[in-house]
């Protein structure tokens, strides 16, 4: 009887605890959603993100800025009125505001730069995790053409992306190398290498090894949600740390159709980028299989997408991104570039202050967010030229 009573008591205790944890999950705050970690770990708070161009990196940057605010991190921001870290010059430590007095006491660096490891190491602690993001060069070329149509000589001289790719050397002048960086091996250039280098196997292998030695994580634009799950798991972050709304996206009518011949030509014209993407596409999926597994990946991607839907319904007046002219708060209008029509968002008007601030962070365009963080981190310095929206009513 005593043994029976003991087993009954134990069973009731298990039921009670199960009920307790079930209640705890359900009363989680709307801004504290997380998934259970299967292993004990600590969030990585020293991070270097190489913000490559036209790779959804503005959305990643927004994720990093929100994470920095949540953990009260110190950002390595561009000096003065700059919004990038010396680009297209190779990065130098003095491009960072306050470097002379702060040294390696920054936690996060993520503004556009042309990568230069020795100089980055002067700014970031030895415990820093390095990561970046790559995109299929075919879609990247179309995007780059649209954004840089009027600023890149090789694009400006051609009618459209298909005409350019049919005969790129007709429009591309080697003597205008820096002005034409958007037109060939764009990612290779951002990683600090010569985008016009001769593509030999030895050269490619040497550079790839250097990149792998430096960067602990390489994400893929083409598998963005899967990349966010990998980022969350690799850095021991929570689901809300990587939830996002698409930023700097274009309207469908500004996306050009590429011919099959043009798509194949990109792989030849941008062969260094193409091989780089292929290499890290393989390592990306290998890492997924080794650390998460495809079944758990699908589960976490679904969780991320459900969370994104919840927050869009909570925050947004319209269910989809809208054109600049429809954005009511002019300080939330994204910068327009080239032939691209850059979209943005309107917030619902019935939000309480806490929810308003959280939602505002999710939709604030890159340049406005940089202006805000700079003003917050350096209140005694002159504010950057682009105004930022009010974070509270």
From start to end of 36-120, where are the E strands? Answer: 47-50, 108-109
pLDDT number for residue 30: 53
Residue 86's nearest CA partner among 190, 227, 185 is: 190
What b/e sequence results for 76-95 when a residue is b if at least 16 CB atoms lie within 10 Å of its CB, and e otherwise?
A: bbbbeebbbbbbeeebbbeb
Could you give the domains of the chain? 47-377 (3.40.50)
**Nearest 5 degrees, angle CA 127-CA 288-CA 276?**
75
pLDDT number for residue 250: 80
Q: What is the mean pLDDT of residues 211-227?
A: 98
pLDDT number for residue 7: 43
What b/e sequence results for 318-346 when a residue is b if at least 16 CB atoms lie within 10 Å of its CB, and e otherwise?
A: eeebbebeebeeeebbbeebbbbbbbbbb
pLDDT-derived band of residue 72, with 50, 70 and 90 as boundaries?
very high
Distance CA 156, CA 138 (A): 19
The segment with the largest mean pLDDT, out of 5-9, 103-107, 305-309, 319-323, is: 305-309
Distance CA 58, CA 369 (A): 11
Q: Describe the strand order of the beta sheet including 217-220 as a list of residue ranges.
A: 108-109, 47-50, 129-134, 217-220
Residue 112's nearest CA partner among 127, 128, 90 is: 90
286 contacts 218 by C-beta, under 8 angstroms: no
- The better pLDDT of the pair 239, 17 is held by 239
* The pLDDT of residue 136 is above 70: yes
Q: Lowest-confidence range among 7-21, 148-162, 170-184?
A: 7-21
Share of the chain above pLDDT 70, in %: 88
pLDDT-derived band of residue 391, with 50, 70 and 90 as boundaries?
low
300 contacts 221 by C-beta, under 8 angstroms: no
pLDDT number for residue 37: 46
In the 3-class helix/strand/coil scheme, how is 188-215 assigned residue by residue?
A: HHHCCCCCCCCCCHHHHHHHHHHHHHHC
pLDDT number for residue 55: 96
What does the pLDDT look like over 258-299, one tens digit per residue? 999 999 999 999 999 999 999 999 999 999 999 999 999 999
pLDDT number for residue 384: 96
Q: Using a CB cutoff of 8 Å and minimum separation of 24, what contacts does 83-89 make?
A: 83/111, 83/112, 83/366, 83/367, 83/370, 83/384, 83/386, 84/111, 84/112, 84/113, 85/109, 85/111, 85/112, 85/113, 86/113, 86/114, 87/112, 87/113, 87/114, 88/114, 88/178, 88/181, 88/189, 89/114
Residue 51's nearest CA partner among 28, 10, 83 is: 83
* The pLDDT of residue 256 is above 80: yes
pLDDT number for residue 31: 53
pLDDT number for residue 16: 41
Q: What is the mean pLDDT of residues 22-29?
A: 35
Average confidence score pLDDT of the chain: 89
pLDDT number for residue 39: 56
Q: What is the mean pLDDT of residues 41-50?
A: 96
What does the pLDDT look like over 332-377, one tens digit per residue? 888 877 666 788 999 999 999 999 999 999 999 999 999 999 999 9
pLDDT-derived band of residue 254, with 50, 70 and 90 as boundaries?
confident
Distance CA 97, CA 376 (A): 13
pLDDT number for residue 19: 41
Distance CA 88, CA 234 (A): 30
pLDDT number for residue 335: 80
* The pLDDT of residue 189 is above 80: yes
Distance CA 322, CA 344 (A): 5
* The pLDDT of residue 26 is above 60: no
**Cis before 316? omega within 30:** no
144 contacts 156 by C-beta, under 8 angstroms: no
pLDDT number for residue 366: 94
State the pTM of this model: 0.89
Residue 262's nearest CA partner among 145, 140, 173, 161 is: 161
pLDDT number for residue 246: 93
pLDDT number for residue 252: 79
């Amino acid at each position: 009887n005593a043994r029976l009573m003991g087993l009954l008591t134990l069973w009731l205790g298990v039921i009670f605890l199960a009920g307790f944890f079930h209640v705890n999950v359900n009363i989680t705050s709307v801004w504290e959603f997380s998934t259970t970690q299967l292993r004990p770990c600590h969030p990585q708070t020293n991070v270097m993100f190489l913000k490559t161009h036209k790779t959804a990196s503005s959305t990643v940057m927004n994720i990093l800025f929100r994470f920095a605010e949540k953990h009260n991190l110190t950002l390595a921001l561009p000096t003065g009125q700059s919004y990038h870290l010396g680009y297209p010059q190779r990065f130098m430590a003095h491009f960072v505001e306050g470097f002379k007095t702060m040294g390696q006491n920054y936690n996060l660096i993520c503004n556009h730069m042309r990568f230069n490891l020795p100089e980055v190491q002067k700014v970031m602690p030895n415990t820093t995790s390095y990561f970046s993001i790559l995109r299929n060069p075919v879609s990247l070329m179309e995007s780059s053409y649209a954004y840089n149509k009027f600023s890149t000589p090789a694009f400006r001289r051609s009618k459209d992306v298909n005409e350019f790719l049919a005969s790129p050397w007709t429009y591309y002048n080697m003597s205008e190398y820096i002005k034409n960086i958007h037109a060939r091996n764009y990612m290779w250039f951002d990683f600090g290498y010569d985008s016009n280098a001769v593509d030999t196997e030895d050269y490619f292998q040497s550079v790839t090894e250097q990149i792998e030695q430096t960067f602990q994580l390489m994400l893929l634009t083409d598998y963005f949600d899967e990349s966010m799950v990998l980022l969350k798991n690799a850095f021991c972050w929570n689901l809300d740390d990587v939830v996002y709304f698409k930023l700097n996206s274009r309207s469908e009518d500004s996306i050009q159709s590429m011919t099959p011949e043009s798509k194949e030509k990109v792989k030849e014209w941008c062969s260094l980028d193409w091989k780089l993407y292929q290499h890290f596409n393989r390592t990306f999926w290998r890492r997924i299989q080794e650390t998460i597994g495809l079944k758990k990946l699908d589960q976490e991607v679904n969780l991320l997408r459900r969370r994104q839907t919840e927050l869009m319904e909570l925050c947004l007046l319209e269910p989809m991104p809208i054109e600049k002219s429809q954005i009511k708060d002019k300080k939330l209008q994204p910068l327009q570039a080239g032939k691209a029509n850059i979209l943005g968002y309107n917030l619902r008007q019935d939000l309480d202050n806490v929810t308003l601030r959280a939602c505002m962070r999710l939709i604030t365009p890159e340049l406005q967010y940089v202006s805000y963080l700079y003003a917050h981190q350096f209140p005694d310095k002159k504010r950057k030229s682009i105004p930022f929206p009010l974070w509270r009513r």
